[in-house]
Chains A and B, each alone.
Chain A
């Protein structure tokens, strides 16, 4: 298990989706660190580029009786389409040379993003969202910032005008999904077990079960954790970070990665400001130090303050997703019409 955040793998449960894991790790923590791997190469890339490799995963979201998680890694003899096909290249040895009889040690170029697999699943989710006109947002925060309460209020306010569904991520219990379902909205709980974040693969499976209607809003409530979910793209349009005024105003500085990854910050529970020493301006200034482009909305789910702007932000996002889908549909229709016209011409030419 991770010594930093207690994060581990292999206990993920998606409601109504039971399965076993065949992957076992031998965790042997008894050994001390008696060596140091710190090689400090000053190694700067001139282009400063971030490389990402598209991965073609044969991963259908329509399957039943699936195998989950690590099983993907070991079962497949199918080729993985990595771009780097390393050949047996003897010039790649440690000395970049080869002499007969020398050790067969060789260098294999990999050049792959460690999060490549997650990013591949995220791309599939994003494709799904775009094909279905779904506006998907990933809600992240520390535990207890009021995400679920605001979600419930949001669903109630949007009832009748917009279809909303929720993916709830927590380590354990389906309490949050139960709260959402009490509003009448579709919700599915993903329990991450020892895991500290949702990943794109879990969300992909949740999507299979949710059967979302086109042109709707999907809110993914991540595990309450201001650290780990920052790195995992789920395919969402935006990460929305919640910060409640009962927390410190310096949280953006303490947990910069999350505020850097988000596009919108909800400053929540602002109805409590009169009882607190929370400095709103300072907090927003700190957030903008980390992320100059971060939008900020001050909201109270209890009094309804700021709710209209939040709802408008959501509705606008859905409108954009819907019109993008409509454009795709129109393009496809046009393409079909063109092909049909070509076919008709060919048939006419034969006759």
Chain B
């Protein structure tokens, strides 16, 4: 996917926060990435390492918290866990599952000094 753009978006958020709050160094960046957000976490980690270089978060540890996917099944009317957008409902086997959770990509918090 577009991990480079996302990494730059994260850099932007970190730099905005650094400017507002006057911290000089970020040692850890915690992200929440939904299982259905389409983000390849390995690629995102790699891109972040490159993008954060030379800035306030150079060398920061990146922690990725995975948010599990959830969906509403039109077939059985239940909210069910979803691993991928093309998965069938684990309860009734229907493919009529609308993703309701696990699509988010967020910067949760930073450890700064």
Shortest Cβ gap from A29 to chain B (Å): 7
Contact stretch, chosen from A101-109, A137-145, A182-190: A101-109
Interface pair B13/A112, CB less than 8 Å apart: yes
Instruction: Known contacts A7-B5, A108-B112, A117-B9; decide if A260 and B85 are in contact (CB<8 Å).
Output: yes
Secondary structure of the B contact surface, majority rule: mixed
Tell me, rounded to whole Å, the shortest Cβ–Cβ distance linking B105 to chain A. 4
Whether the Cβ atoms of B2 and A257 lie closer than 8 Å is no
A105 touches B111 (CB 8 A): yes
Chain B residues with Cβ below 8 Å from A116 are: 9, 13
* Best-buried of B20, B38, B101 by chain A (most CB within 10 Å): B38
* Cβ contact within 8 Å between B64 and A39: yes
8 A Cβ contacts from A60-86 to B: 70, 73-74, 77, 79-80, 82, 85-86
CB nearest to B27 among chain A residues: A105
List B contacts of A43 (CB < 8 A).
32, 65-67
What are the interface flags for A272-297 relative to B under an 8 Å C-beta threshold, 1 for contact and 0 otherwise?
A: 00000000000000101110110000
**Pairwise interchain contact B107-A110, C-beta atoms closer than 8 A:** yes
**For the complex, would chain A's binding face be called helix, strand, loop or mixed by DSSP majority?**
loop
Q: Mark A36-49, 1 if CB is under 8 A from B, else 0.
A: 01111111110011
A292 to B107, CA, bound (A): 30
- Contact A48–B100 (Cβ < 8 Å): yes
Select from chain B the residue with minimum beta-carbon distance to A39. B63
**B contact residues around A105 at 8 Å (CB):** 27, 111-113
Query: Taking the nearest CB of chain B, how far is it from the CB of A275, in angstroms?
Result: 28
Q: How far is the CB of B64 from chain A (nearest CB, A)?
A: 6
Interface 1/0s, chain A 13-37, versus B by CB < 8 A? 0000000000001111101010001
B92 part of interface (Cβ distance < 8 Å): no
Flag if A73 contacts B12 (CB, 8 Å): yes
Assess whether A292 is in contact with B74, with CB atoms less than 8 Å apart: yes
Is the Cβ of A51 less than 8 Å from the Cβ of B3? no
Residues of A contacting B64 in the complex (Cβ-Cβ under 8 angstroms): 37-39
Per-residue contact bits, chain B 37-59, to A (CB 8 Å; 1 contact, 0 not) = 11011010111011101100000
A126 at the interface (CB under 8 A from B): no
Q: Are A111 and B86 in contact (CB under 8 A)?
A: no
Stretch in A154-162, A226-234, A262-270, A342-350 touching the partner: A226-234
A193 at the interface (CB under 8 A from B): no
Q: Contacts A27-B50, A37-B45, A107-B110; is A44 near B1 (CB within 8 Å)?
A: no
- The answer to whether B109 touches A48 (Cβ under 8 A) is no
Establish whether residues A4 and B104, one from each chain, have CB atoms under 8 Å apart when the complex forms.
no
Instruction: Give the contacting residue for A110; candidates B49, B86, B109; CB below 8 A.
Output: B109
Task: Please name all residues of chain A whose beta carbon is closer than 8 Å to the beta carbon of B1 when the two chains form the complex.
Answer: 4-5, 227-228, 230-231, 257
Contact residue among B21, B54, B66 (Cβ-Cβ distance under 8 Å from A108): B21
Partner of B2, one of A49, A79, A113, A197: A197
> Once bound together, how far apart are the Cα atoms of A231 and B113, in whole Å?
33
Check A50 for interface membership: any CB of B closer than 8 A: yes
A323 to chain B, nearest CB (A): 29
CB–CB B9/A44 < 8 A? no
Chain A hits for B65, CB < 8 A: 39, 41, 43
- The answer to whether B108 and A111 have CB atoms under 8 Å apart is yes
Decide: B113 and A86 in contact? CB cutoff 8 A. no
Asked if B53 and A26 make an inter-chain contact with CB atoms under 8 angstroms apart, the answer reads yes
Take A2-B43, A28-B53, A199-B5 as given contacts and tell me if A115 and B109 are in contact as well, using a CB distance cutoff of 8 Å: no
Question: What residues of B have a CB within 8 angstroms of the CB of A50 in the complex?
Answer: 101, 103-104
- B50 A9 Cβ-Cβ under 8 A: no
B38 CB contacts on chain A under 8 angstroms: 227, 230-231, 257
Q: List 8 A-B contacts (CB under 8 A).
A: A1-B4, A4-B40, A5-B2, A43-B65, A51-B106, A105-B27, A106-B111, A111-B107
Beyond A7-B2, A45-B101, A106-B112, 11 additional contacts (C-beta under 8 Å) are A4-B40, A5-B1, A9-B8, A25-B50, A44-B67, A48-B70, A73-B11, A82-B16, A109-B108, A113-B104, A228-B2
Residues of B within 8 A of A (CB): 1-6, 8-13, 15-17, 19-21, 23, 27, 31-32, 37-38, 40-41, 43, 45-47, 49-51, 53-54, 61-68, 70, 74, 79, 84-86, 88, 95-113
